[in-house]
């Protein structure tokens, strides 16, 4: 892709990412307010958003720390939240130029929506589109966090405004998007049971980490595909594509 094509792709990514940036800024505003109430300084909340740039991981860490959990539990929950970027990065890697270090640096701006919208035919990714898409969201996320962290006192009590409900609602929305088959629903139900059982007796943060064990159900139960048949049946010639 020439310089002109790269610039056009970058601008297309900016335009496509603008609506997501608006939503991110609202979510970040909530994060800034809740982070301050959890004991973060304004600078600490802003720096966290500027460096981490991962809403689910940040909300998880702040929720655990705000509930009195330890740094280890908060870090573990954040790492689990971001573990999805490992397979996403593996898929993106072949579309990035340069050696391993350069590709790793280019992968840092990836967020869920930019990764999905930059995917092209043949499994390739438009990296310039991805960079533009993520760039505008990064601005929205950091500016929103700054507004929430610095101006949270003007807004008043986060609970009165309902801002404390935004990140549980965010996690619920993420979860609902993953409940497309019976295996996923079973894992979610098992995780909920584990967490609810441990909340009364375990330190803050531990129930979340323990509940993640339920995700291992996907390693043991074949995921159903079209027609309700497992992949093995289709490969053996008994599926709809045979």
pLDDT tens digits along 30-47? 889 889 988 899 999 999
pLDDT tens digits along 59-87? 888 888 888 888 888 888 888 878 878 88
What is the arithmetic mean of pLDDT over 197-203?
Answer: 82
- Which of these three, 159, 177, 195, is where a domain ends? 177
Which of the pair, 11 or 122, is modelled with greater confidence? Answer: 11
pLDDT tens digits along 142-176? 999 999 999 876 666 555 666 656 656 656 765 67
Looking at the structure, do residues 214 and 168 belong to the same domain, yes or no? no
Looking at the structure, do residues 57 and 159 belong to the same domain, yes or no? yes
Looking at the structure, do residues 129 and 44 belong to the same domain, yes or no? yes
Looking at the structure, do residues 185 and 87 belong to the same domain, yes or no? no
pLDDT at 11 over 90: yes
The range of the structural domain enclosing residue 235 comes to 179-242
For the chain, list the strands marked E by DSSP: none
Looking at the structure, do residues 223 and 162 belong to the same domain, yes or no? no
Looking at the structure, do residues 214 and 155 belong to the same domain, yes or no? no
pLDDT tens digits along 219-236? 555 444 444 444 444 444
User: What's the domain count of the chain?
Assistant: 2
Looking at the structure, do residues 190 and 143 belong to the same domain, yes or no? no
Pairwise CA distance, residues 58 & 55, whole Å: 5
Most confident of 49-63, 102-116, 134-148, 193-207: 134-148
Looking at the structure, do residues 173 and 183 belong to the same domain, yes or no? no
Looking at the structure, do residues 125 and 66 belong to the same domain, yes or no? yes
Looking at the structure, do residues 145 and 193 belong to the same domain, yes or no? no
pLDDT tens digits along 114-143? 988 898 888 899 999 999 999 999 999 999
Looking at the structure, do residues 191 and 161 belong to the same domain, yes or no? no
């Amino acid at each position: 892709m020439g310089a002109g094509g790269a610039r056009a792709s970058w601008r297309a990514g900016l335009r496509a990412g603008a609506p997501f940036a608006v939503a991110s800024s609202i979510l970040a505003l909530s994060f800034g307010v809740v982070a301050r109430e959890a004991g973060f300084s304004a600078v600490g909340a802003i720096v966290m958003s500027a460096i981490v740039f991962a809403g689910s991981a940040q909300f998880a860490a702040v929720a655990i720390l705000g509930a009195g959990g330890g740094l280890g539990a908060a870090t573990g929950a954040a790492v689990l939240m971001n573990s999805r970027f490992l397979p996403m990065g593996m898929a993106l890697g072949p579309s990035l130029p340069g050696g391993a270090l350069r590709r790793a640096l280019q992968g840092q701006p990836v967020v869920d929506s930019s990764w999905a919208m930059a995917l092209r035919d043949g499994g390739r990714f438009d990296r310039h589109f991805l960079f533009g898409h993520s760039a505008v969201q990064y601005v929205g996320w950091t500016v929103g966090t700054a507004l929430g962290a610095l101006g949270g006192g003007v807004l008043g009590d986060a609970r009165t405004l309902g801002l404390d409900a935004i990140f549980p609602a965010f996690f619920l929305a993420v979860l609902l998007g993953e409940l497309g088959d019976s295996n996923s629903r079973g894992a979610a139900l098992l995780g909920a049971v584990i967490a609810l059982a441990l909340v009364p007796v375990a330190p803050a943060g531990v129930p979340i980490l323990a509940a993640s064990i339920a995700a291992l159900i996907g390693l043991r139960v074949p995921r159903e595909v079209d027609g309700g048949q497992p992949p093995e049946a289709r490969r053996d010639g008994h599926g709809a594509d045979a």
